[in-house]
A and B are shown apart, each in its own frame.
Chain A
Amino acid sequence: DTGVSQNPRHKITKRGQNVTFRCDPISEHNRLYWYRQTLGQGPEFLTYFQNEAQLEKSRLLSDRFSAERPKGSFSTLEIQRTEQGDSAMYLCASSLWTGNSNEQFFGPGTRLTVL
């Protein structure tokens, strides 16, 4: 399968715990995005990388959220001291930025439930 993959698909945690999600983009893509989606809403942009550089992170929801993309390959999204309001679907997308088109292809998402 050559699409975007995300792990785990589901995560249940207790309030106050830290969680980390992984995203593996389409191999030839140079951009990687993280979004959050809550029920009945469209995806909400969080942050993105071009290769290993994080070019926009002002939309991360709080300083409890952080993302990394070491070596420009896979990426991780970490949420520290989780809160019940963090329960959502976390989506990763990747794209091949060529200067013109920027179609983003999404993974299946990680569903987070904070008890």
Chain B
Amino acid sequence: EDQVTQSPEALRLQEGESSSLNCSYTVSGLRGLFWYRQDPGKGPEFLFTLYSAGEEKEKERLKATLTKKESFLHITAPKPEDSATYLCAAGSGGSNYKLTFGKGTLLTVNP
């Protein structure tokens, strides 16, 4: 069965303090590794898709990387507005028909 595990469950940072979130996956036939941001009471907001080991993508203070077993979301010099839950999901099955999500990492950035 496909599994996605995220760590840590919660992370508290000071503004400007860089860190990384981890997503490890066990999926048969990975068809994309997805990162989403979710604010309380809202639907997940798409951030990145990574398809092959070694691939990297950046958006503002966020950079996502992918290896054969895990993905990292690096947050450089975070700001309070980066506070949210970050979800990782692995796509599998023919034509990416299903995303398996992790439980997420709750990030809090204090001013």
Mark A residues whose CB is within 8 Å of B: 4, 6, 33, 40-45, 48, 55-56, 59, 91, 93, 97, 99, 101-109, 111
Contact = CB atoms under 8 A, between A and B. Distances in A.
Contacts of B49: 101, 103
**Which 10 pairs across A and B sit closest by C-beta, in order of nearness?**
A42-B101, A102-B96, A106-B43, A106-B44, A109-B43, A108-B43, A45-B98, A43-B101, A42-B103, A107-B43
Interface string B97-110: 11111111000000
A39 to B, nearest CB: 11
Interface of B: 4, 31-32, 34, 36, 41-46, 49, 87, 89, 91, 93, 95-104
Nearest to A3: B43
Contacts of A40: 103
A106 B41 CA distance: 13
B95 A43 contact: no
A51 to B, nearest CB: 13
A103 B34 contact: yes
Nearest to A40: B103
26 contacts: A42-B103, A42-B104, A43-B44, A45-B98, A45-B99, A48-B97, A55-B97, A56-B93, A56-B97, A91-B43, A93-B43, A99-B95, A101-B49, A102-B91, A102-B96, A103-B46, A104-B34, A104-B46, A106-B36, A106-B45, A107-B43, A108-B43, A109-B41, A109-B42, A109-B43, A111-B41
A36 to B, nearest CB: 11
Given A93-B43, A102-B32, A106-B36, 4 more contacts: A40-B103, A48-B97, A102-B91, A108-B42
